[in-house]
C-alpha cells in the first residue's frame, strides 16, 4: 500500500516537529527527563516570504528548502528524523467500520476497497494510510478505522523539503491532527482535567484562521475562515506606504509609528475578535451546542496585544492564549523569554514533535 510514511504510527527515535506554513517554518524537538516529564530541547522559527507557499502548495521549492535548512541550523539539532504535516485541505479523511481481528494485509485490502468509494482520484495517484481507532461503538466485534489519503505530489513535496535539508520524513501528519494532539495535553490541565469541557481552539495564521471545537478528545466541529495576520500587514502598507516586505519586518520588530497602536492595531484586533465571535455563532447554529467553556488562541497572530480580552468581551466566553510548552522542562539552550513570546506559533510543530511519544 502506498503510505504517507507512517501517518498514524509511533516514532520512538528522536524526532523533529517541522511545521511548514505559508508564513514560516517552525521546528520543535522534545525529549523526556528521568521522571518522564516532557523537555523542550530545541525550537526555532524561520520566516517565509509571501507567495512561497500558497494554500498549502509549495510554489518556490528551492527558497522554502533553504529556509528549512536555515531553521535546522539555527536550532542546532543533530536529529535527522522529522515529522511534517499537510494542511487539512490536502488530505481526505474518512472513518469506516471493518470487522475486528483482521491481519495487517487483510486490513490493507479492505481499506483500499473502501477508499475507492470516497477518494475522487485513482488510487495510483494517492498516498494512502489508515489507523485502527478502536472498537466500533454500535457494532460488536467491529473496529473503527480512519483512512487518510492525499495526492502523491503533495506528499512528495513535503518529503522533498525534508530531504533537501538533510532530513528524513518519517511521519507525514495532518496539521489539524497535530495541533489537536498538542492542545489535548493542555486541555488535560484545565479544571477537572477538561472532562466534558467544550473547547474552541482558534489558530490565527497569516491568511487563514482555523477553528476546531473539541470535547473529550473528540472533534465536534471545524471551520476555516479567510482572515489572519497578513491583513494586518496590508493595513500597515496602506497606512504608511511601506512595501509589503518592509511592513512585515516592521510588524515583527515593532518598529512602527507612534499612532500604529490606536490607528491600525486596535481596530484590527477588534475585527479579529468579531470574526471569532461570528465563527462561534456558526458553530452554535450548526450544532446542538449553545456555548463553549473555553476559547483558546494559537498561531502567529494570536499574541497580538489585547486580542484575548477583546475576544472575551465580544463572545462573553473565557479566552486565553495557548502555550504548547506549558508545564515542560526547558533545556539549557532555550531562551525562555523569547520562547514564551513566540509559543502560540509552535502549536502544530509541538504536536508533530509529540508524535515521538504517542502510543
The per-residue pLDDT for range 55-109, each reduced to its tens digit, is 888 999 999 999 999 999 999 999 999 999 999 989 988 888 888 888 888 888 8
CATH 3.30.420.40 boundaries in the chain: 16-90+154-184+327-357, 191-321
Instruction: For the chain, give the mean pLDDT.
Output: 90
Q: What is the pLDDT of residue 5?
A: 42
Estimate to the nearest angstrom the gap between the alpha carbon of 323 and the chain centroid. 13
pTM: predicted TM-score of the whole model, two decimal places: 0.91
Name residue, grid cell 542546532.
Answer: 76
Q: What is the pLDDT of residue 299?
A: 94
| Count of positions (residues) in the chain | 359
User: Is 16-90+154-184+327-357 in CATH node 1.20.1630.10?
Assistant: no
Average pLDDT over residues 268-281: 96
Q: Rounded to an integer, what distance in angstroms lies between the CA atom of residue 146 and that of residue 132? A: 6
Which CATH superfamily does the domain covering 191-321 fall into?
ATPase, nucleotide binding domain (3.30.420.40)
Decide if pLDDT at 9 tops 80. no
Amino acid at each position: 500500500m502506498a503510505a504517507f510514511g507512517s501517518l498514524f504510527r509511533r516514532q520512538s527515535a528522536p524526532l523533529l516537529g517541522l511545521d511548514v506554513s505559508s508564513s514560516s517554518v517552525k521546528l520543535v524537538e522534545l525529549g523526556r527527563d528521568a521522571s518522564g516529564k516532557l523537555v523542550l530541547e530545541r525550537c526555532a522559527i524561520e520566516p517565509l516570504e509571501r507567495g512561497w507557499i500558497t494554500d498549502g502548495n509549495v510554489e518556490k521549492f528551492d527558497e522554502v528548502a533553504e529556509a528549512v535548512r536555515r531553521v535546522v541550523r539555527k536550532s542546532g539539532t543533530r536529529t535527522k528524523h522529522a515529522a511534517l504535516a499537510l494542511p487539512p485541505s490536502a488530505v481526505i479523511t474518512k472513518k469506516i467500520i471493518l470487522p475486528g481481528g483482521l491481519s495487517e494485509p487483510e486490513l490493507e485490502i479492505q481499506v483500499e476497497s473502501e477508499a475507492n468509494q470516497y477518494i475522487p482520484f485513482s488510487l495510483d495517484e494517492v498516498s494512502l494510510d489508515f489507523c485502527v481507532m478502536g472498537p466500533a461503538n454500535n457494532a460488536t466485534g467491529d473496529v473503527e478505522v480512519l483512512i487518510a489519503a492525499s495526492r502523491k505530489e503533495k506528499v512528495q513535496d513535503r518529503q522533498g523539503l525534508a530531504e533537501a535539508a538533510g532530513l528524513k520524513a518519517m511521519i507525514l501528519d495532518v496539521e489539524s491532527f497535530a495541533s489537536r494532539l498538542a492542545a489535548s495535553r493542555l486541555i488535560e490541565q484545565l479544571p477537572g482535567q477538561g472532562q466534558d469541557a467544550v473547547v474552541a481552539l482558534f489558530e490565527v495564521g497569516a491568511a487563514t484562521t482555523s477553528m476546531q471545537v473539541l470535547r473529550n478528545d473528540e472533534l465536534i466541529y471545524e471551520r476555516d475562515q479567510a482572515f489572519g495576520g497578513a491583513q494586518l500587514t496590508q493595513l500597515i502598507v496602506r497606512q504608511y506606504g511601506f512595501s509589503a516586505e518592509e511592513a512585515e519586518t516592521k510588524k515583527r520588530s515593532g518598529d512602527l509609528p507612534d499612532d500604529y497602536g490606536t490607528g491600525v492595531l486596535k481596530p484590527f484586533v477588534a475585527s479579529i475578535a468579531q470574526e471569532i465571535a461570528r465563527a462561534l455563532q456558526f458553530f452554535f447554529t450548526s450544532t446542538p451546542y449553545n456555548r463553549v467553556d473555553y476559547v483558546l488562541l494559537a498561531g502567529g497572530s494570536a499574541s497580538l496585544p489585547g486580542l484575548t480580552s477583546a475576544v472575551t468581551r465580544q463572545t462573553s466566553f473565557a479566552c486565553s492564549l495557548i502555550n504548547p510548552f506549558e508545564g515542560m522542562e526547558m533545556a539549557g539552550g532555550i531562551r525562555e523569554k523569547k520562547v514564551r513570546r513566540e509559543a502560540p506559533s509552535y502549536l502544530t510543530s509541538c504536536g508533530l514533535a509529540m508524535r515521538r511519544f504517542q502510543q
